[in-house]
Amino acid sequence: MVRCRFVAIMIVLLSLVGSICSASIPRSELALGGVTLFTRFANVQRIYGHPTSTSYIDCKIWGGTSRFYTQRYGNGSFIVTATDRDGVVSVSTTANNGIGTPAGIKVGMSSGRLSMVYGEVDYIGEDENGNKVFNYNERKTGVGSRDSLQFTVRDGRIIEISLVAGILYI
């Protein structure tokens, strides 16, 4: 009898821990339009061709200066940012242009699909325009920054999807 109670308590505790951990998404979901974090620009260009425009800015970060390059594709609705030493650190899309996550989430879809596909959101914030931003972090053990998939939502519809490297939060 005592052993059954112990097993029942352990099952309940493990399912609670599992539900807490399941809020985060697996690394395989951290891609947008086939582009993953820390990919080199050359690989992005193999997929999408030459960008419509390229710009850069030098920032003091990580104990030195790093150059952040931003490449825009098409009408500027698909944006890839990379550093001169780390590769891609963010990717975003703001148009219903066929670019989506590995699970098939795209701009224009209902935000209700997010919880169906990814489960409970890790954090909900707000952007400078008052839109909700749903953050799903990488499932990761240990200490350190987590990479995240972010969905900006207005009026119940996804208006932007961003993939952001955790190193940008340092």
Residue 169 banded pLDDT, cuts 50, 70, 90: low
Q: Which domains does the chain have, with CATH numbers?
A: 27-169 (3.40.33.10)
Taking only the tens place, the pLDDT of each residue in 81-127 is 998 777 899 999 999 999 999 999 999 999 999 999 999 999 999 99
Residue 75 banded pLDDT, cuts 50, 70, 90: confident
CB within 8 Å of 40: residues ≥ 6 apart = 82, 87, 88
Supply the DSSP symbol for 167: G
Tell me the C-alpha distance between 85 and 95, whole Å. 29
Predicted model pTM: 0.80
User: CA distances (Å), 129 to each of 85, 114, 118, 152, in order?
Assistant: 32, 21, 25, 10
Residue 1 has pLDDT above 80, yes or no: no
